Structure 1
Amino acid sequence: MGSSVTPPLFFISYAHDPFGDDDQHVDRFYRDLNHDVLMFAGSRDETAGFCDASLRLGQRWSRTLVDNLSTAQVFIPILSPKYFQSEACGKEWSVFASRLDEDARPESQDSSIIPLLWIPMTVPAIAQPYQFKETSFGAKYEEVKLRALIREGRHGDDYKSFVQKLAQRVFQHATAVPVAATAARPGFDEILSAFTSMPAPRPSAGNGAAKVRHSNRRSSSLVDRPILNANLPEDPR
């Protein structure tokens, strides 16, 4: 008999695409990752993680989203230029990062955020302390990034391998180095975006590889403390 897991083991954070089909690709990725995490957990549950595929522009955060963000063990931001322009994505980052700030274990801070590149791009400083260049996820992911990996049928085997490796890492980390849940359940207006006043990232030339700035999370967190910018358009996703 399969075991059960205490969800959410992971939380996918991404910027919605109301004018294209990227939401469908993210939803497929979430379902595939959810399946493989449950496989590693040996669980017959239906859900191991969380990804809000229904929230649209103009909507406030749902209580379910806040509860999952406040208890998830691994935070998976899908990085794109639009992601760093989204006030809601910046607030999701803030909520999870604040939980890590309260956790004194360096291993939780180093591995509890797993950024994934949606397209080739220059990664802003706030994300550079985390390991976003993942050779262990496969050469094809390093070459084309997640969006193309999902979209291009000829990369089917590479995509499946990528999801399985990511799922294994999520499960191992979520069960070995759990991050304490927070009792606070803030509303949308109560949270400060981590991306406020940050310059928008630019798509990079060539393969988009960016240099990783070697710094620890504690030192970077001092400059990542934002103040709310009233001039930002309301963009919950």
Structure 2
Amino acid sequence: MAEDEFRVDESAPVFFLSYARTRNRIAAPPRDTNSKVFQLFVDLSDHVVELLGLRPGRTAGFMDRVLDGGQLWTEDLAFAAGHCQVFIPLISPQYLRSEWCAREWDAFSRRPVLLRPGAEASAGETPLIPVNWSVVERRRVPPVVSQRQMFSPTRLPSEIAPQYHDEGIYGLLSLGKNGKDAYDAVVWRLAQRIAKAYQTHWVAARVPDDVRELRDSFEEAGHELG
């Protein structure tokens, strides 16, 4: 393919943040139970705009804030899943049980991916970048997820990467000022990883015709990125 054939839709987000929506606790006052995910989304979006020099109005990321546990496959969600160039699943026990997260993963995984002309990527580096959101026992991670290269920050003070692996980003955000420095460093490295994936890979647009065609479980063999 010629370089001009590796075009992307400028109205599409650079990355899609896929996460398990959590409901309010029973008998608890109403609150945004996904506020920590939204904080990550905002911080990542700011960094990606800076790293890629996105023009004003260009959307850095997509985060669905409409679904409540998976009730509706909206046009906006379908467009983002079918056109974004980088997919960021926030891995947690809830994520691995979610039918809708599995569908989002499958929608992205079905899309053909190619290295851009002259680009180089390390083994395992693809535009699908699983992130440790909250700790999951290794034996409980299904093969379709475990065979992917989990995001692991590098070139940081020696204590930060182990803290991320032990606590997850949710844990770092829950530790207050004790986790803030680690959180800031990890998110910056993640934004750099997103920018690199965007610059080195091209993922063909493909919007699902019918959500029922998508796999709703991580326990089944999924479609793989090329």
TM-score, reference length from structure 1: 0.73
**2:171 aligned to 148, 151, 164, which one?**
148
Look up the match of 2:41: 30
Look up the match of 2:97: 85
How many residues align structurally? 193
CA separation of 1:147 and 1:80: change in aligned 2, threshold 3 A: same
Aligned alpha-carbon RMSD (Å): 2.5
Q: How far apart are the structure 2 equivalents of 1:58 and 1:131?
A: 26
Look up the match of 1:205: none
Amino acid of the residue matched to residue 62 of structure 1? T
Is 1:10 matched up with 2:15? yes
After TM superposition, give the deviation of residue 142 of structure 1 in Å: 1.9
CA separation of 1:150 and 1:32: change in aligned 2, threshold 3 A: same
Look up the match of 1:131: 149
After TM superposition, give the deviation of residue 180 of structure 1 in Å: 1.3
Look up the match of 1:47: 59
Q: How far apart are the structure 1 equivalents of 2:210 and 2:181?
A: 41
Is 1:75 matched up with 2:87? yes
Q: How far apart are the structure 2 equivalents of 1:109 and 1:64?
A: 29
- 2:44–2:191 contact (8 Å) kept in structure 1: yes
Look up the match of 1:94: 106
Provide structure 1 residue ranges, at least 5 long, that are not aligned to the other structure: 199-222, 227-237
Provide structure 2 residue ranges, at least 5 long, that are not aligned to the other structure: 1-8, 26-31
Q: How far apart are the structure 2 equivalents of 1:38 and 1:64?
A: 21
Deviations 1:3-56 (A, max 9, x none): xx9331111111101125541110111011011100111233363011102211
Is 1:103 matched up with 2:113? yes
Is 1:187 matched up with 2:210? yes
Find the residue that maps to 1:111 and give its secondary structure: coil
After TM superposition, give the deviation of residue 59 of structure 1 in Å: 2.5
Q: How far apart are the structure 2 equivalents of 1:95 and 1:46?
A: 23
Look up the match of 1:224: 221
TM-score, reference length from structure 2: 0.76
Q: How far apart are the structure 1 equivalents of 2:185 and 2:198?
A: 20
Q: How far apart are the structure 1 equivalents of 2:97 and 2:173?
A: 23
Percent identity between the aligned chains? 31
